[in-house]
Structure 1
Amino acid sequence: MLDTLLPILIAAALALAVIGAGRRVRLWRQGRPARVPLLKGLAAMPRRYLVDLHHVVARDKVMSNTHVATAGGFVAAAALMILVHGLGLAEGVLGWLLLAASATMFVGSCCVARRRRNPPSRLSRGPWMRLPKSLMAFSLGVFAVTLPSVGLLPEDFGSWLLALALAAVVTWGLAEMVFGMTWGGPMKHAFAGALHLAFHRRAERFSTKKGGSGRSTGLKALDLDDPEAPLGVENPADFTWNQLLGFDACVQCGRCEAMCPAFAAGQPLNPKKLIQDMVVGMAGGSDAAYAGSPYPGKPVGEHQGSTHGPIVAREGKALVDAETLWSCTTCRACVEECPMMIEHVDAIVDMRRFLTLEHGNTPNKGAEVLDNLIATDNPGGFDPGARMHWATDLELPLMADRQQVDVLLWLGDGAYDMRNQRTLRSLVKVLRAAGVDFAVLGNEERDSGDVARRLGDEATFQSLAKRNIATLAQYRFQQIVTCDPHSFHVLGNEYGELGGHYRVYHHTTFIAELYEAGRLTFRPWKSGSVTYHDPCYLGRYNGEYEAPRNVLRALGIQVTEMERSGFRSRCCGGGGGAPITDIPGKQRIPDMRMNDVRETGAELVAVGCPQCTAMLEGVVDSTAEVRDIAELVADALVEAPSGPAGRGEEQMRTVRPLAEEVA
């Protein structure tokens, strides 16, 4: 009887899965066109799954091994089941391989069941709670019906009742594993996730070398010259089709939720819920069936939308409230943690762009800051001619006078901030002590455009960027050095699309190279314990974790690491224009970060970002002093070499060849 039923069941499940796949693809294709290399992407998919995706999954060793056993066992069992029971090819080794694959899958499903017995709060429940049972049903059913095929049980083993029971179990498993992949349910992520890896919005994220992951963090530019191009995303159909595919790949594991600083602070953002709301909008309906953590302070069931309906409505119900989008600090903790490699920040900024460019709906001080950038080229609205007042006594060389130098020192808008001026003065002291041939743009420098772009004002960003690029094109320099990770990121990773290609260094990286080249000598550190706070735009955005620590080690400092450090560092709350939009929560993000510092017992927290300095120093009753690494280095300098400050034909050639000039 099973010989008759199994081929029918397998054929029916595959046919329904194909129909469901076509339906699913139509949902994704509602989005805007996107150029992707179809065949090349499909060919790269296995490696992206086995290397890049598992590079993230492997951070949790238990779940990594569970996933390998369960997913690997299922893929092997499904393929072999078609051969053995669908096509009747049970002879030889195929039947035994099917037994091994289904047994491996069963072991993995037991681990899944154990995890779901008392799941952490970040995991979605609802249909996901039945997944272990479905995994067990598939693996046990396939194992049982294969035993006669390999001769371990007689072909006529059991009665027709047993045959029907086994067929029911196999049907249950097939329904969830195969049919559910394309029609919806917990296994949907397997189908969508595989294609998401093949047609990813950022193919450059995937590694080309074994064991490493690529990095792609610069926002994509809008084509402001195309009158047909949408200014941001108003409705789900305004996303590109492969973005919609990426949303559909979400496995609802909640890793993004666990790392999100806004969610932890009680602000109305949960990146997992946001992605699920986009899935709801893609298909149409409400979020009532969502079984995970809601946005803090916002119950599930009050959001709804459709493919061509507004994501954020001015009145009535919509998919997302505007304050959810403005809560994001763009720290990329969600993206870094996502095992499906979904791009949450891209989606959030795309939606912000529409609110800002089309509606002018930027909350709190957002509109004022954008107006200041347009009128004065800086977010504070300061006199552009006052950018260099802090350095009157330093006699800094200007690019307009020098025309060609080794290093262009990019000041950033910290030049208007009295606290950050201390950092800049320290950095100048270090550069002069090392005999670096450098100059500054002075009043020719404008805001890099980072804040405007994160607030969704792409037009102001591109205007600032193009004028900066035109200014930089007048001069010759080897590299740009800045103490602002936001400027560092924008100049190095986002100006390129607009024609500005530069070699940009964060000041900690440059100081580390100066020390390694023997250009700096330090007195040994004799003060108290120190911890280091990783800036998001230096670490997660650009992968620089070691250089700041190398500098601290060179000073003789043994860093006491916070529990959340490196790629899992907690955001200070200063990125993405968050201090400007100022969405309230239950607590402040910088307060949580200083609690992390307090737990280490450190007396000083070293930083490498002016925004981090401002946010962490603003914490009331802080137990630790906040100082930039440049300040620590400047205080530890032993002596300055002879020769004119800021000049010298041979000064920096030991650090980087002059022949590698970038203009």
Structure 2
Amino acid sequence: MVATWITALLWLSLLVMGVGAVRRIRLWRQGRPNPVPFWTGLVSVPRRYLVDLHHVVARDPAMATTHVATAGGFVAAMVLLIGIYLLGLASSFFHVLLLMACGVMLIGARRVARRRRTPLPAHLSAGPWMRLPKSLMVFAVTFVALSILALVGVEQLPWLGVVLLVAVLCVALADLLFGMTWGGPMKHAFAGALHLAFHPRPQRFGGGRSTGLKPLDLSADRLGVEKVTDFHWNQLLGFDACVQCGRCEQACPAFAAGQPLNPKKLVQDLVVGMAGGSTADYAGSPHPGQSEQAACGAPDQPLFASLLDPETVWSCTTCRACVEACPMMIEHVDAVVDLRRHLTLVAGATAGKGPEVLCNLIATDNPNGNPPTHRHNWAVDLNLPLLPEVKQTDVLLWVGDGAFERRNQRTLRALVALLRRAGVAFAVLGNDELDCGDLARRLGDEATFQRLATANVRTLNQYQFARIVTTDPHAFHALKNEYPDFGGHYRVCHHTQLLAELLTVLAADGRLADSPLAGTALTYHDPCYLGRYNGEYDAPRQVLQALGAEIKEMDRSGYRARCCGGGGGAPVTDIPGKQRIPDMRMADVRETGAQLVVVACPQCCLMLEGVVEPRPQVRDVAELLLEVIEALPEPDTPFTGKAELA
């Protein structure tokens, strides 16, 4: 009798799940079409789940073991339940396996319950999530008991026992199985698996990297995202996969600064807009800057009229800390830029000084409105080779908009001196170089970005060079990862990568062993667009280690590094918060005890030097390397050859 009831409950659960799955898929399909490799995506799910997703989860060892025990035990238990009760594989062997699977699941459920003890950590969502551990434990305990009864030969229970068993199982199955497709904490399991299969950026899996924004069709009827249905369908699927773990919230510099952006809340607002409902249904961390009055959403309503405050999306620095931290691999930054594209291109509502900056880019091809001919004034005494004159070179030095800033001109001059010391053949574009377009694109002005990118590609394709080198990680990223969409396929290097390669030339005589920096404590700040966007963490550190310095890493370094606050147009939109992001980053520097913070980005340099003194000194990697070399005695036989670049 017990087996009959369980069989009936499982069939009913699968039927209800199927109906819910059809309903859920219809919600996602409200979005715009986006072709995906269907079968290839489905087949890749196990590897993407077990390798790529778990690689992110494993950064928190305690949570990783909890996840393996809970999810692994539940999946194994469901497979065995289907085998035993639906396929008739009711042997002692399978009951023993079911007992083991539910036992492991119970261990995981207890750890989940401990994680959600009161007081609940601020980044974890409350509401339905608080009953999830109980549902998991009820499910596991029930089938542990049933497995034991089956193993000892008890096949009948009193009617009261059967009624209680069915009632308990209905409660557990409602949360764990029905909730996968109808909504609830377990929704992430169903949506998450399909999100891995049909991810908007499949290049992220298998050790790949995909961070460049996708071009916008400027001839389309709809530009950017005004309504939730303007997102692609698999973006909506990704939002629905959110597990509300709060890792993105903990990583977000804007949220930490008290600005009106909480990446987790943003995703949940978009889910509310997709499914209809109210933000009152959301139980999570406070959302700075947003009214406590509940807002309602519907797929056909403009998001900024119903659910979102424009300042929410203008607070984002596009640092990708949220994306890097997300175990479900949701693309928050893509959503933010899509929303900005509507505000800028359609509504004409760019925040702060955005309209002025974009007008400058249109009129003068640089954001500050400087005369384009002044881009190389910093090098008037350096007699730099011009590529339009020499036609070909080994290295094209892309100076970027840092050339207009006196502080960053020092970095450029240091790099030029190092290139000449190493015998590198290089040239600059001179007046032919335009803004790379990064700022325009992050502010949502895709039209201006595409105009600048197309013009630069047309110029670059006239000449021959082995690689482009730049001190600006934002230009590095745009030229390397976004220009290929416009016909610009180049080998692009950051200056720290080139300097790491040239160390054997610059230190061929071993002089760096006598570096005055030997033993000096310093710390290194990872630029977001060099690190998280392009995976380069080692090259700058290799240079600093060659100088003999003691690198005292900040608690948030590498892929966890806190943004300086200078990316994504944040200094332009200037959304107020409770504190400044660069001040928080300088506090991270002070915690190391280092009196020198080394940077590798013009924006990072300006933002950190903008912190009120007294504070540690700020130096670019190139400046520091040149200072050390110039402080050493001249070699007996100076290098006069030409550097052999890889």
What's the TM-score once normalised by structure 1's chain length?
0.94
Task: Say if 1:572 and 1:622 are closer, same or farther in 2 by CA, change over 3 A.
Answer: farther
Give the equivalent residue in structure 2 for 1:573: 565
Give the equivalent residue in structure 1 for 2:482: 494
Partner Cα distance (1:489, 1:513) in 2: 19
1:330-373, CA deviations, whole angstroms, 9 ceiling, x for partnerless residues? 00000000000000000000000000000111111100000000
Q: CA contact under 8 A between 1:181 and 1:190: conserved in structure 2? A: yes
Q: Match for 2:515 among 517, 521, 524?
A: 524
Give the equivalent residue in structure 2 for 1:270: 262
Give the equivalent residue in structure 2 for 1:141: 142
Q: Match for 2:398 among 410, 413, 423?
A: 410
> SS where residue 394 of structure 1 aligns?
coil
Instruction: Spell out the pairing of 1:64-213 with structure 2 (5 A cutoff).
Output: 64-118=64-118, 119-149=120-150, 151-156=151-156, 158-207=157-206, 213=207
Following superposition, the deviation at residue 255 of structure 1 comes to 0.2
Partner Cα distance (2:352, 2:292) in 1: 26
Q: CA contact under 8 A between 2:422 and 2:505: conserved in structure 1? A: no
Moved more, 18-27 or 301-310: 301-310
> SS where residue 303 of structure 2 aligns?
coil
Give the equivalent residue in structure 1 for 2:56: 56
Partner Cα distance (1:364, 1:526) in 2: 42
Following superposition, the deviation at residue 286 of structure 1 comes to 1.6
1:56-100, CA deviations, whole angstroms, 9 ceiling, x for partnerless residues? 000010110111011011011011112212333212522211111
Instruction: Spell out the pairing of 1:467-506 with structure 2 (5 A cutoff).
Output: 467-506=455-494
Following superposition, the deviation at residue 227 of structure 1 comes to 3.6
1:482-504, CA deviations, whole angstroms, 9 ceiling, x for partnerless residues? 10000000000000111101111
Q: Match for 1:319 among 302, 307, 324?
A: 307
Give the equivalent residue in structure 1 for 2:36: 36
Q: CA contact under 8 A between 2:421 and 2:506: conserved in structure 1? A: no
Give the equivalent residue in structure 2 for 1:223: 217
Give the equivalent residue in structure 1 for 2:354: 366
Give the equivalent residue in structure 2 for 1:464: 452
2:516 counterpart letter in structure 1: W
1:253 counterpart letter in structure 2: C
Are 1:559 and 2:560 an aligned pair? no
1:540 counterpart letter in structure 2: R
Partner Cα distance (1:491, 1:302) in 2: 43
Task: Say if 1:217 and 1:418 are closer, same or farther in 2 by CA, change over 3 A.
Answer: same
Q: Match for 2:643 among 647, 652, 658?
A: 652
Partner Cα distance (1:414, 1:326) in 2: 23
> SS where residue 627 of structure 1 aligns?
strand
Q: CA contact under 8 A between 2:191 and 2:238: conserved in structure 1? A: yes
Partner Cα distance (1:24, 1:643) in 2: 67
Moved more, 256-265 or 509-518: 509-518
> SS where residue 215 of structure 1 aligns?
coil
Following superposition, the deviation at residue 148 of structure 1 comes to 3.0
* Number of aligned residues: 637
Q: CA contact under 8 A between 1:286 and 1:301: conserved in structure 2? A: no
Give the equivalent residue in structure 2 for 1:249: 241
1:302-347, CA deviations, whole angstroms, 9 ceiling, x for partnerless residues? 332211211113xxxx111000000000000000000000000000
Q: CA contact under 8 A between 1:7 and 1:87: conserved in structure 2? A: no
Partner Cα distance (1:106, 1:432) in 2: 65
1:287-315, CA deviations, whole angstroms, 9 ceiling, x for partnerless residues? 011110132132444332211211113xx
Give the equivalent residue in structure 2 for 1:355: 343
2:524 counterpart letter in structure 1: Y
Are 1:605 and 2:636 an aligned pair? no
1:611 counterpart letter in structure 2: Q
Partner Cα distance (2:29, 2:45) in 1: 20
Give the equivalent residue in structure 1 for 2:418: 430
Give the equivalent residue in structure 2 for 1:384: 372
Partner Cα distance (2:293, 2:237) in 1: 24
Partner Cα distance (1:494, 1:227) in 2: 20
Moved more, 162-171 or 15-24: 162-171
Q: CA contact under 8 A between 1:287 and 1:300: conserved in structure 2? A: no
Are 1:512 and 2:512 an aligned pair? no
Q: CA contact under 8 A between 1:397 and 1:438: conserved in structure 2? A: yes
Moved more, 234-243 or 118-127: 118-127
Identity across the alignment (%): 63
Following superposition, the deviation at residue 285 of structure 1 comes to 2.0
Give the equivalent residue in structure 2 for 1:661: none
Following superposition, the deviation at residue 518 of structure 1 comes to 5.7
Q: Match for 2:582 among 587, 590, 601?
A: 590
Following superposition, the deviation at residue 5 of structure 1 comes to 1.2
1:129 counterpart letter in structure 2: M
Following superposition, the deviation at residue 444 of structure 1 comes to 0.8
Q: CA contact under 8 A between 1:294 and 1:300: conserved in structure 2? A: no
1:22-42, CA deviations, whole angstroms, 9 ceiling, x for partnerless residues? 000000000000110000000
2:347 counterpart letter in structure 1: H
Gaps of 5+ in 1: 208-212, 657-663
Partner Cα distance (2:504, 2:367) in 1: 37
Give the equivalent residue in structure 2 for 1:541: 533
Give the equivalent residue in structure 2 for 1:660: none
Q: CA contact under 8 A between 1:144 and 1:166: conserved in structure 2? A: no
Task: Say if 1:227 and 1:297 are closer, same or farther in 2 by CA, change over 3 A.
Answer: closer
Task: Say if 1:607 and 1:6 are closer, same or farther in 2 by CA, change over 3 A.
Answer: same
1:191 counterpart letter in structure 2: F
Partner Cα distance (1:468, 1:546) in 2: 30
1:571-597, CA deviations, whole angstroms, 9 ceiling, x for partnerless residues? 000000000000000000000000111
Moved more, 2-11 or 538-547: 2-11
Give the equivalent residue in structure 2 for 1:297: 289
Partner Cα distance (2:483, 2:564) in 1: 25
What's the TM-score once normalised by structure 2's chain length?
0.97
1:135 counterpart letter in structure 2: L
> SS where residue 221 of structure 1 aligns?
coil
